[in-house]
A and B are shown apart, each in its own frame.
Chain A
Amino acid sequence: MMWTLPILVILGCALSSVPLGRYMAWAMNSRGPGLPCRLDAMVARVGGSRCGEDQRWHRYAMSMLVFNAVMFTVVFVILTAQAWLPFNPDAKGNMPADLAYNTAASFTSNTNLQHYSGEQHLSYFSQLFAIMWLQFVSAATGIAGLTALCRGLAGRSALGNFYRDLARATVLVLLPLAAVVAIGLVLCGTPMTLQGSAVATTLEGLTQTISRGPVAAVVAIKQIGTNGGGYFGPNSTHPFENPSLLSNIIENASIILLPMAAVWMFGRIVGSWKQAAVVFAVMGVLYAGLVGTSVITEQAPTAALAGLPVQDAMNLEGKELRFGSSAGALWAISTTATSNGSVNAMHDSLNPLTGMMPMIGMWLNVAFGGVGVGFINMFLYIITGVFIAGMMVGRTPEYLGKKIEAREMKLALLALLAHPLFILGGIAIFAATPWGAATVQEPGPHGLSEIIYEFSSAAANNGSGFEGLGDNTPPWNIATGTVMLLARFIPIILPLAIAGSLASKERLAESAGTFRTDGVLFGVILTGVVLIVGALLFLPLGVLGPIAEHLAVSGGSAGPR
């Protein structure tokens, strides 16, 4: 029973991701007559020549930065001025500047880390035109980035046009999918209204104000676009966001569907189904491994109930009883491995070892990863793996027929190093200062886990929280806001530079002496590289946070030798 839901969801998504990936490749990369090109023409009419011409990597990256900077500014203004804007039936006040900075950064970067609570802090206008709008275009930015990377890998030195790709991703990929999911959620009972909060009189005769709003629309794109920012503070644990087991399945599936399909899109654009299959398999193994471990470790009772007669039960602390512990574990991994960040259980209350699995998901950030960017992150590991293992066949390393040389490695390592820099650097500063140490719920390993989780979540553009951490403070808002922005754009721009550099190289012929990246052996290597590099960088964190806590609560205190 405990395996039914995870297997159902994972297999179902894996299967449906294949045709979806084909569709995405058509929607993003089709150059023949048809809907995508008519959309291009519209974009060019509206935006002028800048939206019509093909761009080399630096122009593409520049367009992406400009667009996102504009979006960031607009949203910042909306949030700090929402009291004066329409669609504010519950008369929400303006957001403080540091919180607005964090929120704008969070949604621009597709992170959706929420230091606010939707039902308390946001007007409907902000929900729809700041939050939901960014949930669409930030996910579309990721898809556009991946499409450009794939084009470069396929050998096109012009990577396409960012504005065109953005429009295609939003209109042809995200909108239809989000509409389908939203309708499904409405059918499950999720509210979709622009009326103000409902006021109800309870059986005891008290009046209760019940927040509602255009929930289904926001929740649909929050899941489809690996955004994760819930309409309500409690996210998908809230019965309006996630009313039933069926809505839970729909939402969990929509979390991993697009990241999975993005891999097939890559295969389609570079013209090799097998290349994509290997990457998909590696991501799948990592993802399934994390899910499996979590489901098992979450079967153990929580330490909080030690000594009580109920202690033999699985860990239900912080879970929604209508979903159970397996659904909580599956969701916790799905949401962190993919940079989504929505939650249907409190990660803070997971058993310590289970709590480490979402962290691993965020540290690696490649087990499908965010929409588009998951594959881009994996691409960095692929390049690194190809470089080191490629030499072992006695040739200078090459990937998809292109030589990997000093320039590519420099860029790949810079991008790869950005991730641990933000996580380790942030943790070091906050763990050693009252900025972090004073905001944790309890001192010791668990408190460190909260700090680790918060920075990992920001750097992985994930957005989920370990909770328990008092994170709505100026230091946290500014630090995580900045980390989110840098951690978003550095790992997109540098890989684009690599793609541009590879695209300009001669394609080498393939032979029996070529290092193959489309077989099982490379799958093993890639898994090894991800795990070893990940382990080497983040093992100390895992040991000092969750593992230390686990060993402490499981009574493994053998003492120093």
Chain B
Amino acid sequence: MSADGSKTRLPRLRNTSEVLDKHAVFVERHDTLTLRLLPRDIWKRLAMERQKDLSIFQPAFIAPSARRAVLRLSPQAMMGNPVMFVAWLGALVTSVESVRVIATGGEGLVFVLAVTIFLWLTVWFANFAESLAEARGRAQADTLRSARQDVMATKLASADRSAARSEVPGGSLRKGDIVIVEAGGVIPADGEIIEGVASVDESAVTGESAPVIRESGGDRSAVTGGTRVLSDWIIVTVTADPGEAFLDRMISMVEGATRQKTPNEIALTIVLAGFTLAFLLVCVTLYPIGAYFDTRIDVVTLVALLVCLIPTTIGALLSAIGIAGMTRLGASNVVAMSGRAVEAAGDVDVLLLDKTGTITLGNRRATAFVPAAGVDESAVAEGAQLASLADETPEGRSIVVLAKEKHGLRGRDLQQEGARFIPFSAETRMSGVDVQGRKIRKGALEAIRAFIESHAGTLDPGVARAADEIAAAGGTPLVVAEVVNGTARALGVVHLKDIVKGGIRERFAELRKMGIKTVMITGDNPKTAAAIAAEAGVDDFLAEATPEAKLRLIREYQAKGHLVAMTGDGTNDAPALAQADVAVAMQTGTQAAKEAGNMVDLDSNPTKLIDIVGVGKQMLMTRGSLTTFSIANDVAKYFAIIPAIFVVALPQLAPLNIMGLESPRSAILSAVIFNAIVIPALIPIAMRGVEYKPVSADALLRRNLLIYGLGGLIVPFLGIKLIDFAVAGIGLA
């Protein structure tokens, strides 16, 4: 039939081939469920943005970031970062010293100036890293912002369609204002429907192309600003002041405008401040100790030593790492409502995953026909197919497809044969078709048993056994029966099965290696749940899950010292979402769910929980690795600077110059230069995060320790030596 059948909404299906067309669409949808980028509007653009993100030093970001980095050199801006503030003070001191040397015509001006320039560069690089991270976040926010169109709103004087209307700009609406939106109009602000029902295109926010019904009262009364009413009209009371709408909050989170330091970041800042204080102590006390040897250590050298020793590398990149973590999360279309949530994601060790959509493909599919004694398998298939032709459910369609694939059965034009379809009803718990004097029914075992017995027949015990076996194996048995000439008999059983997503088992095995437990949440009975759980390889499952059971489960895990992450979308998920440590609400979900969660997944893809954990872990790993690197660097810097300071008073110290640096001044300057340029060199790692593999903690630690610990010890020896060559070569010192 028509190839454009899929475009018609709820078509009346006439024959099998039409059903098959529909099914093809269905299969395609499900197979691409996780990959599917959103069909239109901003999410496509966001995806492109993601591609662009790979190049960190984008020309568009460089110039503004460079400018911002200069503006941030003000003392108020620097004070928030104790490490860089000390470096900033150091640069200030050497600047004053430069002026003094120039004024007095003292010796060593080139050295003093060179040190001063590189100290300022060190501070500037730090600001640049942060500005760059923010610029990338802002670019993401801009794409979000473009979703918010400034529209005109039709304001009502009272909640009555016939009340006086006035046209006002959408941005001027305040909480409590009442507006009417009619077909074709854009909803001007977040609100609650107080009257009317309408189909709304929410693709601008959710990416879901199918329109949804929104109506007053109940779970579906919330509307989001920026979405479009397709049919009918609604009266909406505005629930957010300008700038406080959901979209606004997401934007400000992504932008980093409301960024607050996360608990671990605060602790790390304290540790870095502690190290800074310790080195301040070392450097300040060197001066009087120098006096004991009648050496006057000049102030530039001391400042250089201090700035080299304090952990400027991690100090410079710390906030960039945090911002970049949020941006990376944003790149996978997840908006975290706080940095704290991202950090907690790294700690999560129990994932509650909804079965449907995460572990299994959307719905059950027919996988086998089990005939009753004396019935041909193709007869079961034929009966099942006939009974399902008008069945719009995915299960029904899959039966039609299986019958075609296995037995080459093509549907007939039943309409012409005067077929009458019997839809599923809660009362009979069966569906089927009456055609040419044949009554064909399919349904649960007990329903069919009752059906057969009502026609004075008996159910073949073999069929009942087969149905039980299927149920025991985690499948759903669908018994098919027919009544021909007043004789009722069971034809056989259709085996409906949940299809576990490809690759998910391996994914869970990886998670297990990382020490993360997966728990499947399903409404199925325990038997079915156990079978699917075994097939998918989850660690545990919660069957016949209710919102209360979910909440209880989360509390149990937390009491045992676990951190729990979950996804949810319904209003009844809200308590569990609020209880979970990391709660990802689906963007398609209700406002209540979104308020209770601490992240929102714009793609509404529950599998993403796994990626979110990855982003959290990567952020923490990056912090730890760069801190380790920064501190390990100090060893080499000591070997460069300490002999250089004292070699004049204590010539015997010359053998400690193990790097064979040209002169004391060249040694000090080289250490300062290395210390400065290592910051931009590490910006890519800070932004992308250190490479992350799903392996055990021990393996991760070994790897990072080798690269950033051992590497941090060795690299500066090479780097400083190389720079020393260059510095001596061009005669800087």
Q: A interface vs B, CB < 8 Å?
A: 384, 387-397, 401, 404-406, 408-410, 413-414, 416-417, 420-421, 424-425, 427-429, 431-432, 437, 444-445, 448, 506-509, 511-516, 519, 521, 524-525, 528, 532, 535-537, 539-541, 543-544, 547-548, 551-552, 556-561
Contacts and interface: CB of A to CB of B under 8 A. Distances in A.
A45 to B, nearest CB: 40
A432 B284 CA distance: 13
Given A391-B621, A551-B655, A512 B285 contact: no
Nearest to B654: A558
A391 B631 contact: no
Interface in B261-306: 263-264, 266-268, 270-271, 274, 277-279, 281-282, 284-289, 291-293
A429 B631 CA distance: 28
A388 B516 contact: no
B561 interface: yes
B282 A420 contact: yes
Interface residues of B, number: 79
23 contacts: A388-B271, A393-B697, A395-B347, A404-B267, A406-B266, A413-B270, A413-B271, A414-B274, A417-B277, A427-B285, A508-B562, A508-B563, A509-B349, A512-B514, A514-B697, A524-B705, A532-B631, A535-B635, A537-B278, A540-B286, A544-B646, A551-B656, A560-B654
A388 B628 contact: yes
B655 A556 contact: yes
A431 B698 contact: no
A544 to B, nearest CB: 6
Contacts of A420: 278, 281-282
A512 B620 CA distance: 17
Interface in B630-667: 631-632, 634-635, 638, 642-643, 646-648, 650-657, 662-664
Contacts of B270: 406, 409-410, 413
Interface string B706-717: 001100000000
A384 B289 contact: no
Most chain B beta-carbon contacts within 10 A, residue among A408, A409, A431, A512: A512
B271 A421 contact: no
A416 B274 contact: yes
Given A393-B621, A511-B517, A387 B267 contact: yes
A391 B264 contact: yes
Contacts of B704: 392
A421 B621 contact: no
Contacts of A425: 281, 285
B210 to A, nearest CB: 38
A384 B346 contact: no
Most chain A beta-carbon contacts within 10 A, residue among B513, B618, B646, B698: B698
Contacts, number: 224
B698 A519 contact: yes
Contact of B281 (A396, A397, A424): A424
Contacts of A437: 292
Contacts of A512: 512-515, 696-697
- Chain A facing B: main interface SS: helix
A540 B642 contact: yes
A406 B271 CA distance: 8
A392 B289 contact: no
A513 B627 contact: no
Given A393-B700, A417-B281, A409 B708 contact: no
A507 B562 CA distance: 9
Which 3 A-B residue pairs are closest in the complex by CB-CB distance?
A: A513-B515, A391-B624, A394-B617
Given A394-B618, A508-B562, A539 B642 contact: yes
Given A543-B643, A548-B652, 8 more contacts: A388-B628, A395-B346, A396-B264, A408-B267, A427-B289, A428-B289, A536-B278, A537-B282
B623 interface: yes
Contacts of B289: 427-428, 431-432, 448, 540-541, 544
A387 B271 contact: yes
Contacts of B343: 396
A511 B515 contact: yes
Contact of A406 (B263, B635, B651, B696): B263
Contact of A409 (B267, B515, B646, B648): B267
B52 interface: no
B627 A428 contact: no
Contact of A396 (B286, B620, B642, B705): B620
Contacts of B631: 388, 532, 536
B662 A391 contact: no
Contact of A559 (B623, B627, B632, B651): B651
A394 B274 contact: no
Nearest to A559: B651
B618 to A, nearest CB: 7
B263 A511 contact: no
B701 interface: yes
A405 B262 CA distance: 11
Contact of B293 (A387, A391, A544, A559): A544
Contacts of A541: 289
Contacts of A414: 274
A539 B662 CA distance: 22
Contacts of A395: 346-347, 617, 620, 697
Interface string B593-610: 000000000000000000
Given A395-B617, A428-B288, A512-B515, A532 B635 contact: yes
A389 B701 contact: yes
Nearest to B558: A506
Contact of A514 (B515, B617, B642): B515
A409 B271 CA distance: 6
B620 A432 contact: no
B9 interface: no
Given A409-B274, A543-B653, A551-B652, A509 B561 contact: yes
Contacts of B465: none
Most chain B beta-carbon contacts within 10 A, residue among A429, A448, A511: A511
A561 B700 contact: no
Given A448-B292, A507-B561, A548 B650 contact: yes
Contacts of A397: 264
A379 to B, nearest CB: 16
Contacts of B514: 512-513
B720 interface: no
B267 A511 contact: no
Contact of A543 (B264, B560, B646, B709): B646
Contacts of A515: 697, 701
A227 to B, nearest CB: 29
Contacts of A387: 267-268, 271
A164 B309 CA distance: 45
Given A395-B617, A551-B652, A389 B696 contact: no
B57 interface: no
Contacts of B651: 557-560
Contacts of A417: 274, 277-278, 281
Contacts of B675: none
Nearest to A388: B627
B616 interface: yes
A521 B702 contact: yes
B667 to A, nearest CB: 10
A232 B284 CA distance: 39
B561 A394 contact: no
Given A424-B285, A448-B292, A560 B700 contact: no
Given A395-B347, A448-B289, A532 B652 contact: no
B648 A560 contact: yes
Contacts of B291: 431-432
A506 B561 contact: yes
Most chain B beta-carbon contacts within 10 A, residue among A428, A445, A507: A428
A511 B516 contact: yes
A511 B351 CA distance: 14
A548 B653 contact: yes
Most chain B beta-carbon contacts within 10 A, residue among A388, A405, A516: A388
B346 A445 contact: no
